[in-house]
Structures are given as structure tokens and as C-alpha cells.
Amino acid sequence: MTEIHENNFLFNTWYFIGTSKEIKLGKMKRKVIADQPLVVGRRKNGSIFIMRDICPHRAAPLSEGCIIGNTVECPYHGWRFDVDSGVCKLIPSLTEDQKFNSERISVPTYITKEQDNLIWVYLANDNNFTNKPYIQPYNLPFSTKNAIIDYSCVLECNIDHAVIGLIDPAHGPYVHKQWWWRSPKKIHDKVKHFEPFLFGFTMKPHPPSSNSFAYKLLGGKPLTEIVFQIPGFRTEEIKIGKKTLLSITIVTPISESKTEIRQIFFTDLNIIKILSPLLKIFTRKFIHQDANIIKLQQLGLAYNPKMMLIDDANTQAKWYYAIKKEWNDCIKKGREFQNPVKATTLKWRT
């Protein structure tokens, strides 16, 4: 039995902003991650920039302004900030003889990376969240320009409960009870092999659950590999011959009590593309079932009870806490990350 640890955001790591498609040329969007309000924009040359979404003058959101050349213009009094350095380049209200140097003022800018059709931001734990990354965002095994499904929903919980919900195998037959997925009656024993992998762990390729009708629709002999990485990133890669269906689930903390869950599917399988309207309905239903149980869980959490993590079905949750702890530790001590996960076989009934 392990107790749940208190919540804290992980820093010195990459957080998911959105898909490349989402941030259009010359446009900006607001995004709050780990209590940091961010403005994400795409320069006219196509590259992404990220700055703090609070104007240092009177706190208006820069995301509501516009991009002019290499600057962002605040919607309130038109101050302009360089998108690379964050330095204030113009204060329109100043008269010719007022010698105030606008360059003394700046907005924090963030390190960003766009790869595999996804956009990431690096949040460091220095004051302006911008020190040099130790690591790079996880490389996807597969991606396409357009996701066949891209669905997002806000969970009323902190990041830890969201992650544990995501990697918890035991709730499936109870929370996701439907004829096309699993029911408690069809529960059977599962044996899965796990290994440490980068900043998380992987469940080695295995044929997906034979009791799931949804998988049968795929045809062929699919092989699934699941990868989990902190802060809250999970991929499920299903390979059928040379074709791939990649399911990406990302939970991103918005605040201590709100977490975004994002479900994206990339595929080159025509049958899945054809079935995508149906898959969209299933995805929505699935995520809403999770969101609903998490909302109900808050009724208990409000009383700050002790909780349990028991046996193999909760081992991934224990690993999550151990990885998180190791991450904070190795950064504090300035040493290499040592993945606490040991290769092991876990058994449970779902």
C-alpha cells in the first residue's frame, strides 16, 4: 500500500501546446499550462513563438492583440513586444521629447519546439521559465499532418489524478461499460510486460485485448506498444503490417484543480479513416466517462482522505510517483536521471 503524495507541477520539462494545424500562420492563441498563461503564435515565416500572455503594462492578454512584423501588439494601448526577445519595441503614447527607454521592459519568452506535427513548450523552474532544456520532447513513432480525431476536455482534478486515471487498467470494465468495449462479465486475467523507457515506461508489443470488439474491426493481427512519459503523455501504437494507428493521450495541468485531457489519433489505415466518424463518437464517450468519474471522485477528495495503491493494477501509478520524485531529485542535485522502473511482468484482471 502506498499513499498518494501531494501534488506539484513538474518543471524543466516539455508540455504539450497543441497540434501544428491549430496555430495558423500569423495567428495567436492563449493557453494556460501549470498556472502559466501563455500566448502561442506563428510568425509569418512559419515558426512558432511563445510568450507570457500578460502585458507588463496593464496586464491585458497579448493573445488578443495582433502580430506586426516581428512583434506582438498589445490590444489595450498598442505596446509592441519582440517575439524573439520579448523586449518592448514601441510605446505609442510616448511623445518625441519623452526619452523613456521602452527596451527596459520585456515579456518572458519560452523555448518551443515543433515536431511530428505537435507543438511543445519548455517550462523550466527559473523565474522566467526559460533555462536551457536538458531533454527533448518525445519523438512520435508516427504522425500525419491531419489527425483523424482530435478531442479535448477539461478534467476537474489535478494532474496526478488525471495521470493515474490514464494509466489505471482496472477501471475499464466499470467506467467504460459498453457493448462495443468491455463489460465486467467479460473480465479476464491479463499479463503484461513492462520496461523502463526514457522518462517513463513502455508496455512491450502484445496483441491487444481479445475481449474488445473494437479491435476486431481492424482485421489482421495487430501489435500494440504503449509508452508513458512524464509529465502526462501516453502513446498507444497499433501496428497492422506496415500500417499504423497511433493514439496519443496527453494530460496537461492547467491549474491545481483543472487538467486538460487531449486525445489525438494519427493513422494511415484507410479502414480507420473511413470509420473515423464512429471513432469520434466513441472517443467522446470514453473521455466523458473518465471526466465523469473524476468529477465524482472529487466528492471524496474534498475530505482529503488517505488513499491506496494496491498490487499490480496500481504499479504504474506507483511508478508515476517514483519517476516524478526522481525527476525533481535529479534536477535538484544536478545529476543524471535514473529511471526507477525495473523491467517486470504485471498481472491484473480487466
Give me the least distance between CB of 171 and Fe ion, in Å please: 6
Per-residue x/- track, 7-46, ligand FES (CB under 6 A):
----------------------------------------
Residue with smaller CB distance to ligand FES, 92 or 241: 92
C-alpha cell belonging to residue 285: 464517450
150 binds Fe ion (CB under 5 A): no
Window contacting ligand FES (CB under 6 A); options: 75-83, 166-174, 238-246, 342-350? 75-83
> Number of residues in contact with ligand FES, rule: CB under 6 A?
8
Contact with ligand FES (CB under 6 A) among 4, 60, 218, 322: 60
- Please tell me the distance from the alpha carbon of residue 150 to that of residue 154, in angstroms, as a whole number: 14
In the block, residue with C-alpha cell 527596459: 104
DSSP-assigned beta bridge partners for residue 226: 203, 236
Give me the least distance between CB of 13 and ligand FES, in Å please: 30
Per-residue x/- track, 285-324, Fe ion (CB under 5 A):
-----x----------------------------------
- Extract the runs of DSSP E, i.e. beta strands, from the chain: 13-19, 28-33, 36-42, 48-52, 66-68, 71-73, 80-82, 88-90, 109-115, 118-123, 149-155, 189-197, 200-206, 223-229, 233-240, 243-253, 259-267, 344-349
Per-residue x/- track, 76-95, ligand FES (CB under 6 A):
xx-x----------------
- Please tell me the distance from the alpha carbon of residue 270 to that of residue 240, in angstroms, as a whole number: 12
66 binds ligand FES (CB under 6 A): no
Give me the least distance between CB of 244 and Fe ion, in Å please: 22
- From ligand FES, Fe ion, none, which one binds at residue 290 (CB under 5 to 8 Å depending on kind)? Fe ion
Other beta carbons within 10 angstroms of residue 154's beta carbon come to 11
- Please tell me the distance from the alpha carbon of residue 38 to that of residue 17, in angstroms, as a whole number: 10
Residue with smaller CB distance to ligand FES, 94 or 278: 94
- From ligand FES, Fe ion, none, which one binds at residue 83 (CB under 5 to 8 Å depending on kind)? none
Give me the least distance between CB of 251 and Fe ion, in Å please: 11
Q: What are phi and psi of 27, to 5 degrees?
A: -120, 160
Inter-residue contact 117 to 142 (CB < 8 Å): no
Inter-residue contact 292 to 156 (CB < 8 Å): no
Q: Which string of DSSP letters, residue by residue, matches 137-190?
A: PPPPS---SS-SEEEEEEESS-HHHHHHHHT-STTHHHHSB-TTSB-GGG--EE
57 binds ligand FES (CB under 6 A): yes
Q: Which residues bind Fe ion (CB under 5 A)?
A: 290
Binding site for ligand FES (CB under 6 A): 55, 57-58, 60, 74, 76-77, 79
